[in-house]
Amino acid sequence: MLLHIVARGKIGRSPEAELVARYLKRIQWPIRLTELPDRGGKTPDPAPQMRSVMLDETGTILSSTELAGLLASWRDDGVRETRFLIGAADGFDDAARADADLLLSFGRATWPHLMARALLAEQLYRATSILAGHPYHREG
């Protein structure tokens, strides 16, 4: 299953970009990162058998093992792509939120977009490591 991060804003050359790249390189699943301008730009067309996960401070807080379980379930159900959406500074409107399969939160704090991207990359690496039985994740 393809893990596809679609993020508003250009990360450029920065410490956050290096951190994101470090985690994305470690992920053994197919992974893609699409950057869009803060406004406008063409969102990639929806893929068949796709799930969308929108990062939103009002979303569900999942543990790393719960996220891994959800990804495994979708993969096993034949989902071909899970798309993770990171919005611009104003986030997403209600209509976009309603279309998402999951609103995911990394806590009730508001995170800068570059940090949210790094947190997502790390959690995707952690989730895929859990599913592979890799010792990176330590529960408890």
Over residues 114-136, the mean pLDDT reads 93
pLDDT over 70 (residue 137) = no
pLDDT of 75 reads 97
Q: Which of 8-17, 37-46, 131-140 has the lowest mean pLDDT?
A: 131-140
pLDDT over 90 (residue 61) = yes
pLDDT over 80 (residue 31) = yes
Q: How far apart are CA 73 and CA 139, in angstroms?
A: 20
pLDDT of 135 reads 80
- Please state the pTM of the whole predicted model: 0.92
Q: How far apart are CA 26 and CA 111, in angstroms?
A: 23
